[in-house]
Amino acid sequence: MDTIKIGLLGCGVVGTGVVKQLISNQENIARNTGCRLEIKRVLVRDLNKNRSLDLPRKVFTDQADDIINDPEIQIVVELIGGIEPAKSYILASFAKGKNVVTANKDVLAAHGREIFAAAEEYQKDLRFEASVAGGIPIIQPLKDSLAGNRIKEVLGIVNGTTNYILTKMALEGKEFAEALAKAQELGYAEADPSADVDGLDAARKIAILASIAFRTRVSVDQVYVEGIRDISALDIVYAQELGYTIKLLGVAKEVNGEVDVRVHPVMIPNNHPLATVNDVYNAVFVEGDAVGQTMFFGPGAGELPTASSVVGDIMAIAKHIRLGITGQLTGCTCYYNKPIRPIGQLNSSYYLRLLVQDQPGVLANIAGVLSQHQVSIASVLQKRTLGHLAEIVIVTHEVKEADFMASMAEIRELPPVEKVDSIIRVESTNSNG
């Protein structure tokens, strides 16, 4: 049986899981792939760190060239994260004739075009299942199993940290800051949580999913992004009363040949499958013209769940190496060049919570401005009176975002309007965007 040699770039959370899984499951892996997989070298930053792994010390190096320039290594597994030096190492690996597995959404969402071009130029495989939703198989299912569909929409809870925070807020009535502190205490959120709570992490993932689903390159800077910092416990309670759950969603849809791609808090109906996805779990809901509605659910991060995806990718490449077909089956699928739909063109319903002077005629005033901008009201609730102020919640019918925002700019200026506390988009299933 042939042996295929692997170089790991990085041995942190995910790298450790990959080493453990390749060793503990080696018999199975050999039977499945028809070859033995050997971890030849592992790049780390700190050679003195205690790794507690069943690997000889001499395997570890702090020199990337020991892997990239080693002609015996056929698969490089990039698990460093971030843009540089990860991007340079990936490109250099292709140039040296190696296949690459990566879990790095940052580099793919920002430089996917260049990285895929290099894989194609050198006729090598690039696999990245772990880059979106960790342990959940979604990249290959979209590329292969669902390839016969015209995909209508992809909706994803693809950031475990924000899903944990929103779940705590919903189930325990905590405010955002308190729920974030709890997430940090449990290690679910970084000391600087901005990439998660401001939506950037989810934007990188939905850029990758949109690219595959709609077969056109979407980069992270094309994704409209809003995070969850402004969601209050009150909005979550009112959403529940109206029959909705608030989730941070990555949304990708094709509308009249344009790609609508965005990340923001969304009120989804309580009977939508995504509404029941709680805590740090991730889920990706995909609707195709043939398959209908499907949902992929599971752990979006963690040592072994993420290693599960990485090892699956390594094994697929090992089979391609054995058959001499690397670079032929797993190339870029972005055949088209579809424009991105501006956020102003979005058709959505909106939830709006505002504080107004508690006096006659205010509601008529607000309704008047809304109707001037073609915004029609689906429901109005007066929630509380706070001294001389009244709290009002309005849910609109579907309207173009640009019209809704224009009405809001005017409403904010109305003298009896004290404050617009929140605006949240309401997702109706099967919306046409």
Ligand X SMILES: NC(=O)c1ccc[n+]([C@@H]2O[C@H](COP(=O)([O-])OP(=O)(O)OC[C@H]3O[C@@H](n4cnc5c(N)ncnc54)[C@H](OP(=O)(O)O)[C@@H]3O)[C@@H](O)[C@H]2O)c1
CA angle (247 as vertex; 241, 249 as ends), nearest 5: 140
Structure tokens at 379: 């429901």
Q: Between 225 and 408, whose beta carbon lies closer to ligand X? A: 225
Residues 6+ apart with CB under 8 A from 244: 267, 268, 269, 270, 275, 351, 426
Q: Which amino acid is at 129?
A: E
Distance between CA atoms of residues 112 and 109, nearest Å: 6
Q: Which is nearer to ligand X, 13 or 30 (CB)?
A: 13
> How does strand 151-157 pair with strand 99-102?
unpaired
Write down the least CB distance from residue 188 to ligand X, Å: 10
Asked if 12 touches ligand X (CB under 6 A), the answer is yes
Binders in 26-85 for ligand X, by CB under 6 A = 43-46, 49, 79-81, 85
Distance of closest approach, residue 388 Cβ to ligand X, in angstroms: 50
Alpha helices in 7-71 (DSSP H): 13-24, 26-33, 65-68
State how far the alpha carbon of 262 is from the alpha carbons of 19, 69, 170, in Å: 35, 40, 23
Among 4, 6, 11, 91, binds ligand X (CB under 6 A): 11
Is 299 a binder of ligand X (CB under 6 A)? no
Encoded tokens for 233: 């416990």
Q: Does 209 bind ligand X (CB under 6 A)?
A: no
Minimum distance, C-beta of residue 44 to ligand X, in the bound complex (Å): 4
331 binds ligand X (CB under 6 A): no
Q: Looking at 7-15, 19-27, 166-174, 248-256, which segment touches ligand X (CB under 6 A)?
A: 7-15
Nearer to ligand X, 103 or 274 (CB): 103
Least distance between ligand X and beta carbon 46 (Å): 4
Residue 185: exposure state from Cβ atoms within 10 A (0-12, 13-18, ≥19):
exposed
| Contact present, 51 and 60 (Cβ < 8 Å) | yes
**134 part of the interface to ligand X, by CB under 6 A:** yes
Cβ contacts of 288 within 8 Å, gap of 6 or more: 146, 149, 150, 151, 152, 294
Show the binding pattern over residues 78-117: x = contacts ligand X (CB under 6 A), - = does not. Answer: -xxx---x-----------------xxx------------
Q: Minimal distance in Å, beta carbon 183 to ligand X?
A: 14
Question: Annotated catalytic sites, by residue?
Answer: 205
Question: Of 103 and 208, which has the nearer Cβ to ligand X?
Answer: 103
Binding site for ligand X (CB under 6 A): 10-15, 43-46, 49, 79-81, 85, 103-105, 130, 134, 301-302, 306
